[in-house]
Structure 1
Amino acid sequence: MTAILIVEDHALVREAMVQGLGRLGAGVRCIEAGSADEALACLDAEGSVDLAVVDLMLPEMSGFSLLAILGKRFPDMPAIVVSAMDDEASVRRAMKAGASGFVSKSSSGDTLLQAVREVLDGGVPTPPRFAPAAPTPRRARPLAEQYGLTTAQARVLELLANGSTNREIADSLGLSEGTVKVHMTAIFRALGVVNRAQALVAIARSGTRL
Structure 2
Amino acid sequence: MMQTRILIIEDHVLVREAMALTLAQVGEGVYCEQATNATDALALLEANPNCDLLVVDLMLPEINGFSLLGIIAKRFPDVPALVVSALDDRESVHRAMKAGASGFVSKASSSNTLVEAVRTILAGGVFTPEATTGPDGGNRSRRASQAFAERFQLTAAQGRVLELVAQGKSNRDIAEFLGLSEGTVKVHVSAILRSLGVTSRAQALLMMTRAGLRV
**Equivalent residue, structure 1, for 2:165:** none
Structure 1 residues 32 and 75: alpha-carbon distance in aligned structure 2, compared to 1, 3 A threshold: same
Structure 2 segments unaligned to the other structure (5+ residues): 136-215
**Equivalent residue, structure 1, for 2:5:** 3
- The offset of 1:132, in angstroms, is 8.3
C-alpha contact 1:51 1:120 (8 A) present in aligned 2: yes
Q: Deviations over 1:172-195 (max 9, x none)?
A: xxxxxxxxxxxxxxxxxxxxxxxx
Aligned mates of 2:49, 2:127 — CA distance in 1: 26
Structure 1 segments unaligned to the other structure (5+ residues): 134-210
1:115 is matched with which residue: 100, 117, 124?
A: 117
2:88 is matched with which residue: 86, 89, 94?
A: 86
Structure 1 residues 3 and 45: alpha-carbon distance in aligned structure 2, compared to 1, 3 A threshold: same
C-alpha contact 1:79 1:99 (8 A) present in aligned 2: yes
Q: Deviations over 1:122-181 (max 9, x none)?
A: 111113145489xxxxxxxxxxxxxxxxxxxxxxxxxxxxxxxxxxxxxxxxxxxxxxxx
TM-score w.r.t. length of structure 2: 0.60
Answering whether residue 63 of structure 2 is matched by residue 50 of structure 1, we say no
**Equivalent residue, structure 2, for 1:35:** 37
Q: Which structure ranks higher in relative contact order (CA pairs < 8 Å, sequence separation ≥ 6)?
A: 1
C-alpha contact 2:9 2:34 (8 A) present in aligned 1: yes
Q: Which amino acid aligns with 2:117?
A: A
Q: Deviations over 1:68-127 (max 9, x none)?
A: 000000101100000000000000000000000000000001100000000011111113
**Equivalent residue, structure 2, for 1:178:** none
RMSD: 1.5
Aligned mates of 1:125, 1:26 — CA distance in 2: 21
The total of aligned residue pairs comes to 133
Of stretches 3-12 and 17-26 in structure 1, the one that deviates more from structure 2 is 17-26
